[in-house]
Structure 1
Amino acid sequence: MDAQGLAQLLSPTGWALLSALPPYDEARTMALSERLRHEGLDPALVAAALTQSRLRAKGHAKFGDFADGMLFTPAGLEQATRLTVAAQHARRYLSAGSTHVADLTCGIGADSMTFAGVGLRVLATDVDEITASVATVNLRHFPEAEVRHADGLDLDLAAEGVDAVYADPARRTSSGSRVFDPAAYSPPLDAVLAVRAQVPALGLKLGPGIPRAAVPADAEAQWVSVDGDVVEVGLWFGPLAPDGPGRSALVLHHGTSHVLRSTPEDDPHPPVGPVGAYLYEPDGAVIRAGLVGTVAHEVHGRLLDPTIAYVTSDTLHDLPTATAYRVLDTLPFGLKRLRTYLRGRDVGRITIKKRGTAVVPEQLRSQLDLRGTTEATIVLTRVGGTQQVLVVESV
C-alpha cells in the first residue's frame, strides 16, 4: 500500500466502502471488483479496499473481531503480535509499575494497542511512514497513545518521560525472506539492547529460533506458544523480569495461560531410561526454552534418549505444559512388523508422531496401506539408541 492508496482508504468514500464490503471470499473477489468498478468507483480504490478486506480476514487469526476495524500492511500483519500474547506483554509492564512505554518499532500498532488498552501512556514510533500512518489509524480510539513517524532509537527517552521501552525488530528483508543474524535485524539487536543503559525496563520480542546462547545473561528469556504453535521469545530486563534472569516458557492454550520456569531442583541432565506407562510430549515453548528436564522432574520421569525431547514416567500427571499419552505397546521399528501389528488390530486410520528419526510420515502411511476400521497413534523415536515404535493413546 502506497501513500495514495492509504489516502483513498481514509477518505469518506474509501472508509465507507471498506466498512460496507461483505466478508472476504476469494472466489467472489473478481466479480465484486468488477461490480464496484461498474458502479463508478475508482479502480485503485477498489483494489486497495479489497486488499484490506483480505488482510482483515487474515488478521482475525491474531486479532479476532478487532481486525474488522483495523488497517494492515502485509509485512505489518505478518510480524504483528497476537492479541492474546500482546495482552501478556501489557500485564508485565503494568506489574512492573510502568506508566509511559516507548514502543520503538510499533509496526501496525498491535502491542501499543494493548499497552494503551490497560491505561499505559504510549509513545509509538516507526521508521516507515505508511506503517506509522496505519498505526495511527489503529490507535485512533486510544487518547493515551501518540504515534510518530521516527526512528525510535533517536528518541531522547528522558526528555519524553519514558520509564519503559518495548521493541520488536524487523526480521525479514524487503523481499520477505527471514533474517537470522541479529546484527541484520532492523534495528540491529545490539542497538536495541543498548537502550537498557538509559531505561532498565526493556522488553524485546524476537523470533523463537534465536539460540539460547545468544540470550544476554541479564535477561529473562520467555518462549511463548499459542495453542501449540511457538510464536516468539520475549527478552525482559530490569523490573520487567521480577524473578531475575533465566529461562521460562509461557503456554497459552484455549484461553488459559501457564508459565514453566527452571528451578534449582531441576536436573540439567535428567536420567535416561526405559519406556514407562506414560509418555509426555513437552510443549514446543518448553523445548525451545530447554526445560524438558523440568518436565521430567515434575512427572518423576526420565528421557527416552538423551537427545530426544520425549519424557516417560510410570505415573500419570496432569501437566498444562506437556501432552500425556498412555503407552499401550512398544516394538522395534520395522515396516513389515509394524504393518502386521496394525492390520492385526484392524487399524485403518493412523496418527504418526516422530522425533529423532528420518521416517517421512506420509510415505510410511502409504507403505503401511491400512484398511481397517479403528484408529491408532504411534510414536516413532529412539529409545536407548535404537529405533522404536510406541503405540499410544491420549489421556
Structure 2
Amino acid sequence: MAQTPTSAGQHAAEIPEFPMPRAAGCPFDPPPALREQQEAGPLTKVRLWDGSTPWLVTRYTEQRALMADPRVSADITRPGYPSPAAARTNSIGFILMDDPEHARLRRMVTAPFTIKRVEALRPRVQQIVDDLIDGLLDGPRPVDLVETFALPVPSLVICELLGVPYADHDFFQDNSRTIINRHSTMEERGAALGRLTDYLDGLMSRKRECPAQDLLSGLAERVNKGELSQSEAARTGVLLLIAGHETTANMIALGTLALLQHPEQLAALRETRDPKLVAGAVEELLRYLHITHSGRRRVALEDIAVAGQLVRAGDGLVIPNDIGNRDPDAFTDPDHLDIHRDARHHVAFGFGVHQCLGQPLARMELQVVYGTLYRRIPTLRLAAELNDIPFKHDGSVYGVYELPVTW
C-alpha cells in the first residue's frame, strides 16, 4: 500500500520526532533538524511522545499569522491539542485558555506590567543588581553565576511585585523546575503544581485578611468582591511566579554565556553608556537565543489555508519560535549574533493575544543586568570549558544549570 503524503514531499515513515536534539558544540543554535524542516517548507509534520502528528510551523511569517489567528486555540483541553505531557487539564491559569475567559483573567493582572509601572521599578531593580554584584565582588572565586546572580535577580523582583516572601524562594524554584522539566512524570509534575497551588492559596487567604501594596493583594481584593474565585487567583499566582523568574533567570545566564563566546559583542555592550544600544542588545539576545525551545502549542478550530497547505479543524500545531527567529526571510544572516541589529520584530515573546504578559518587566530586568554586570566586572570570564557547561536540554525552558565564572 502506498504511503499517504502528510505534506509536500513528506511521507508518514519520514515524519521526524519532536522535540529535536541540538547539535553537539552548537548550544546556542536551534536543532539542525528544525532548520531542515524550515527549508522543506513552512508546514511539515512531526511526531510527538504520544504518537500524534501535529503540524510543525517553522517560518516566521506563518508563525506570526497563526499565533494571531482567532481560529487557532491555546486551550489544552481541546481535542487535537499537541500536549507536551500526558496531562490534558489546565491547572496553571489563563495561559492555556482562549478568550473570553483568557481575556477576563489576564485583564486582572495587566496593570502592574504596563511599561509605565515597570519603568517605575527600574531603580529598585538596579539596586538589586548592584547589591548582588557587590556580593559577587566581595566573595570567593570562581562562582556559579546562576545560583549567585541569575536566579536571585528575577526571583527577588517577582517576589516583591507579587508579595511573596523571598525566604520561600528555594521552595518555589524547586517545584517550578519539576513542572517545566519535560522528563518529569505526570505524577511528579502534578504533585509539584499542587504544592505551589496550595502555597499560593494559603498566601491568598492571608492577603484577603491583611492586604498590602502588591499584585496578590490586588487579586485578593477581587476575590473578596466576588470577581474571582480563590482557586483562580491561586492558579494565576502560580503562573506569574513561575513565569516571572524561570525565563528571565535563564536568559541572564545563557545571554552572559553567549556574550562570553562573542567577545567583540561583549566589548561593545560593556563599553557603551547608550541605553538604546543596551535595549537593542536585549532584543537581539532574545532573538538569537530564545529560551522557550519546546514550541508554542495550538490546535486549529476551523479549516485554515496556510501557505498552500490545508490545516484542518482539530489539527495540532507546534510553533517553535526559536527557528522562526532564525528565518533568513525575516532576519539577515540570522545565525550571527549582532547587538547592533534591529531585532525588535522577533517572536521570542510570542504574538497575538497570548503574547507574554510580562515582557516589559523581562526587558527592563535584562536591560539593567546586561547594562551593569559586564561594566562592573569587566574581566568576567568562564571558569570552565564550554563543553563542560551543563545545558538544560531536558526542560521546556532552555538555559544552563550552572555557569562557573571568575574575573
TM-score in same-fold range (> 0.5): no
**Highest Rg: 1 or 2?**
1
More strand by share: 1
The TM-score range, normalised by the shorter chain, is under 0.3
Specify which structure has the bigger relative contact order, considering alpha-carbon pairs within 8 angstroms and separated by 6 or more residues: 2
Return the TM-score normalized by structure 2: 0.23
Return the TM-score normalized by structure 1: 0.23
More helix by share: 2
